[in-house]
Amino acid sequence: MALTDFWTGSKHYLCDTDLAQAFHIARTLGMPLLIEGEPGTGKTELPIQYAKDQGLPLFTFPAGSKSNVEQFVAKFDHVKYLRDSQVEVLNAQRIEQGLDPLESGGRKTENLDDYVNLGPGAQAFSHPNSVLLIDEIDKAPREFPNDLLFALSHRQFVLPESGKTISVTEKDMPAIVITSNREQELPTAFKGRCVYHYISFPDAELMEKIVKKHFPKIEGELLKKSIRLFYQLRGMGLDRAPATREMLHWLKYLEHFAVDEAIAKIDKKEGMGILIKSHSDMRKIQSFYPN
């Protein structure tokens, strides 16, 4: 059940109370936490910061359209296996001719385990109390979450070819965080095995706190102005509204200037390219704030 202390964030990461609660519930129950929400609201950051703060090993699996459960659990290295088996044949000949046999790195073809490369999933399961992040699972093919079902509910992976199993007790279960952008619906059976949490977009008040975590020395007027503009932009119905990530990038840019210079930049709407990510949105903004 991983470590079950209630964790509310670290020096650099402000964990929204609702999220912290859901994360705590998930860890206590030994279930994965499935987080959904707008891009750029810190879904991926949660396990990373948690592992960093608590000093736990973190294993990450970024899912993509070609992801399969093999990459996640363990892969059998066919090429190495092929090489070694060829080398064996060759060595028999070499010994006959009185030559030194070739090395194969201590691997033995009879021992199939030597050719199994553990993926992040199997690694996390063999490290007690680790943190496992499966990022953007919605990008993975549909079979992927389905293939994970057994592993999640029985806390056990079967390694390919060698048939060895890696299992973990509920007590040592890694804290699993799965993020999704809802690009495709996940199977119901899969969701049923997770604790679900939807990250709602932070309001101005919380945003202020988040910003202060990242920029502790930020000047009050600058903070107020930037947040006001940020929420104005969000309220404009853009195709791709800026999220927390963009806000932080933008402030990082503004940080390079003196305070009054930065405020002037906000007033003049300079550096909008950091916040706005599409051409049509940019045009909309330019017509909205004519200079």
Partner 1 sequence: MFTSLPQYLRDQNLQGDVRTLLLLKKSMERGLVNTLGDLYLVLKGLVTNSQKDIGPFTVAFYQYFCDVTIKRGESLEAAILRSETFQEWRKLQDYEEGEEPEIAEQIDDFINQIHLTTYDIKSVLKGEDILNNDDPNLKDLGDSDERLQNRLQQAADFSDIPLEELLERMKKVLEQQKKRHQGGNHWVGQGGTSPYGNNGAAQGGVRVGGSGGGKMARKVIGDKNFYPVDTKTTLTDDSIDVALTILKGIQEETVETELDIPNTIKEGVKQGGLFLPIERDKIDQKVQVVLLIDNGGYSMLPYVKTVKKLFSKMKRRFAHDLKTYYFHNTIYDGVYQDAFRSKLVPTEKLCKLNKNYAVFIIGDADMAPYELSEYSLYNWQEINKHFPRAIWLNPMQERFWYGSMTVNVLKQVFEMFPMSPEGIEKGVAHMNRKQKFGKAD
The rounded distance, in Å, linking the Cα atoms of 88 and 95 is: 11
> Is 98 a binder of partner 1 (CB under 8 A)?
no
**Cα angle: 183, vertex 189, 194; to 5 degrees:** 75
Q: In this complex, which beta carbon is closest to partner 1, that of residue 192 or of residue 264?
A: 192
**Residue from 191, 213, 245, 249 that binds partner 1 (CB under 8 A)?**
191
Nearer to partner 1, 75 or 265 (CB): 75
| Nearest distance, CB of residue 219 and partner 1, angstroms | 28
Site membership for partner 1, residue 192 (CB under 8 A)? yes
Residues 6 or more apart from 278 whose CB is under 8 A from it?
238, 239, 240
Beta partners for 236?
Answer: none
Sole window of 111-119, 183-191, 221-229, 247-255 interacting with partner 1 (rule: CB under 8 A): 183-191
154 touching partner 1, by CB under 8 A: no
Q: Which of 10, 76, 162, 219 touches partner 1 by CB under 8 A?
A: 76
CB 70 → partner 1: shortest distance, Å? Answer: 10
Nearer to partner 1, 101 or 192 (CB): 192
Residue with token string 């932009």: 233
Q: Rounded to the nearest whole angstrom, what is the least distance from the CB of residue 53 to partner 1 in the complex?
A: 18
Residues facing residue 166 across a β-bridge: 157
* Strand, coil or helix: 172: coil
Total of chain residues touching partner 1, rule CB under 8 A: 38
Pair 131, 124: CB distance under 8 Å: yes
Nearer to partner 1, 33 or 166 (CB): 33
Residue 184, CB-side half-sphere exposure with 13 Å CA sphere: 14
Start-to-end CA span in the chain (Å):
57
Chain positions 20 to 59 lying near partner 1, rule: CB under 8 A, are: 20-22, 24-26, 28-29, 31, 36
Selected from 5, 12, 198, 228, the binder of partner 1 by CB under 8 A is: 198
Report H helices in the chain. 17-29, 45-54, 69-73, 78-96, 120-126, 143-154, 188-192, 204-214, 220-234, 244-254, 259-267, 279-288
- Residue 282, interface with partner 1 (CB under 8 A)? no
> Cα separation of 101 and 232, whole Å?
72
Lookup result for tokens 């910003």:
211
Decide if 175 contacts 131 (C-beta within 8 A).
yes
**Interacting residue ranges for partner 1, rule: CB under 8 A:** 1, 4, 6, 17-18, 20-22, 24-26, 28-29, 31, 36, 76, 78, 81-82, 85-86, 89, 141-142, 182, 184-188, 191-192, 195-198, 200, 237
